[in-house]
Structure 1
Amino acid sequence: MTQDGPSWAIAALADEPAPLIAAFVRHHLAIGAREVHIFLDRPNPEAEALLNGLEGCILTLCDQVYWERVNHGRRPGRHLGRQKFNATRAYRTTGCDWLLHCDVDEFISDGAALSALLAHEQSAEGIVLGNLERVHRASEPGVHIFEGAFRGPIGFTETDAKALFGRFATFLNFGLTGHRVGKTIVRTGRDWTMGIHTPNGFDQSKLVKSDSRLLLHFDGLTELHYALKLLRKAFENYAGPKRKIGQERTAQFRFIRDHASDPNALFQLVRGVQSLTEHQTTILGILGVLHEVPFVPKACADLDLSPATFNAMLREREASLIATAGLKL
């Protein structure tokens, strides 16, 4: 702990267009992170150019040379396995008091609030940072990929969910497309291996759940990004047992895979689960789970964060996946 309070770091495995990775790093350093550990899952020279020399950014390319050095040449077959392996390496090497393992589509909204929380919870071994999920509204100008409002989870009955979301209710869990359990920031120096949401071997009695939802989840920065994210998971092929996921996420994967050759149906689903009608906006506002404070990442004024540029990079970066899935764009 420093005189200014506990120090904190973030670790993430990154396989995204360079502007998103750069925004993730710059924003978190700007709001108080001492270190941001980025593990590039594939070569990304554009991201390296944007991040090289940035104080506080620890950048690692996870090529075969890396895996030879750190894991006897074995690259974990599952994306989740590589996430956990690299997060554990960051956990064991960081000089900070706390470490958060998250994805590069997840952003801490308020660094001062996080620092105050860490200083206050002096006996906790880990703090669950609740999450909100970005949603789009028709009034957005479409200037940058972080536009939108944010919704929190809510336990609808099946009848109420169908009344509000119609046929798209099948794809939503507690009103969200993604997770609702948040991510856990943990004290360093313990004998843990990192997981996706909490460490393995963690004493749950030492876990504190924050009342505030400081983690913003952008489950797809553009419509195309969301579709490709699901396609990548739907076409995963790795040895060993398949990971367990919820029925709603499974339904998303199945629909996207089955309709890859029908862009109208595919993007109709994307809009149905990630955009709000005026009526839905009103209802979620009344229920107190819609947060309309805009988010713009810090220290990113010189980055091109336009949807058009982001989608162009996606098409180039994911050309093989697009061809494999038969996605018609």
Structure 2
Amino acid sequence: MTRWGIVSTIKAPKAEILDFAAYHLELGAQRLYIHLDDPDPDTLAMLKTHPKIRAFACDDAYWRKQGVKRPAKHQARQTFNATRIYRRKAEVDWLIHMDVDEFLWPEGRVDQRLGALPAATLCARVRPFEALAGDGTGFKGFIPAGPEREAVVERLYPRFGAFVKGGFLSHLAGKLFVRTGLGDLTVKIHNVFRGEEMNPAEVELDDIRLLHCHAKSWEHWLSAFRYRLDHGSYRAELAPARARDKGGLTLHEVLSTIHQVEGETGLRAFYDELCADTPRLRAALQAEGLLHQCDLGLAEKLQKQFPDLG
């Protein structure tokens, strides 16, 4: 049997971490390597009760043991932890770095899909499907790069679509399963490097989706807005959706301007068009073949994997 595992660096409430863990254990993950970026003793203790979870408290003692100063940016901490796990003695055949708000959604079994890949395949990419903020079951489909992408996005999002690459507020790159045993590989958030070579022998897995719950509600989105604007997926250094000479602006510039000029009212209009699970957006996505229903069934999976929660 092909064994696969997930490595994560997480700062989130206990309930979200356990949901993420239970879901992927039910899906067949052999190992979860969970690094708690702001460790909570109760969460750490609960994770350690599960035989398939390796949990790490990334406190001062952890970073001293690693012999490095704690990286200031969370992206650098993610890279360090993912690379460290990859370079350890392998307990799995394939490893993927994921965030706590991401959930694999395969058409079949993950182990069988990975096991069917040719031996020459070293990396396998899964593309994101971004959640609609509503009951948690609606997702926008990924629009592949190509001449039609911009037109589709602007039909879906007539006011703001020109500034939002692929119609997604977060990443389009997806995440990579990486075959273990390839030596001193460096695992970054969306790519891996073997020396100077990026993503060696990569393929796309069209039959496994990466469901990304980027916005769960208006309140959730707004509470994360400032952090994402300064440090996360809306930060200033990320590129615009289209070239500058074609009127392109970064998402950081667009959202900063909306916030300065229109305040929360403007941000709510942006959220409603891009994120909210509305009849208008559902109909528009359906017309483009981009509406997907995926019920994660988190409560049932949590009970199965962590019955001691009561």
TM-score by length of 1: 0.77
Distance change (3 Å), C-alpha of 1:59 and 1:257: farther
Q: 1:83 aligns with which of 78, 84, 91?
A: 78
Structure 2 Cα separation of the partners of residues 23 and 38 of structure 1:
13
Count of residues paired in the alignment: 287
Distance change (3 Å), C-alpha of 1:253 and 1:106: farther
Matched with 1:12 is: 8
- Work out whether 1:290 is the aligned partner of 2:291: yes
Matched with 1:267 is: 268
Matched with 2:128 is: 131
- Secondary structure, in 3 states, of the residue corresponding to 1:275? coil
Query: For residues 77-125 of structure 1, what are the alpha-carbon distances to aligned partners after superposition, in whole Å with 9 as ceiling and x for unaligned?
Result: 1111100000011112241111001111111123853212111103211
Is the CA contact 2:27–2:110 (under 8 Å) kept in the aligned structure 1? no
Matched with 1:100 is: 96
Is the CA contact 2:140–2:291 (under 8 Å) kept in the aligned structure 1? yes
- Work out whether 1:280 is the aligned partner of 2:273: no
What is the identity, as a one-letter code, of the residue corresponding to 1:200?
A: F
What is the identity, as a one-letter code, of the residue corresponding to 2:295?
A: P
**CA offset at residue 24 of structure 1?**
0.7
**CA offset at residue 225 of structure 1?**
2.8
Unaligned runs of 5+ in 1: 141-145, 304-329
- Work out whether 1:299 is the aligned partner of 2:295: no
Structure 2 Cα separation of the partners of residues 122 and 273 of structure 1:
39
State how 1:172-187 maps to structure 2 within 5 Å.
172-187=164-179
Is the CA contact 2:104–2:208 (under 8 Å) kept in the aligned structure 1? no
**CA offset at residue 188 of structure 1?**
0.8
Distance change (3 Å), C-alpha of 1:293 and 1:178: same
**CA offset at residue 212 of structure 1?**
1.8
Is the CA contact 1:234–1:254 (under 8 Å) kept in the aligned structure 2? no
- Work out whether 1:245 is the aligned partner of 2:238: yes
Question: Which stretch has the larger CA shift, 105-114 or 28-37?
Answer: 105-114
TM-score by length of 2: 0.81
Distance change (3 Å), C-alpha of 1:209 and 1:162: closer
Structure 1 Cα separation of the partners of residues 72 and 130 of structure 2:
28
Structure 2 Cα separation of the partners of residues 77 and 181 of structure 1:
24
Matched with 2:41 is: 45
**CA offset at residue 284 of structure 1?**
1.9
Is the CA contact 2:133–2:217 (under 8 Å) kept in the aligned structure 1? no
Question: Which stretch has the larger CA shift, 210-219 or 258-267?
Answer: 258-267
> RMSD in angstroms over aligned alpha carbons?
2.9
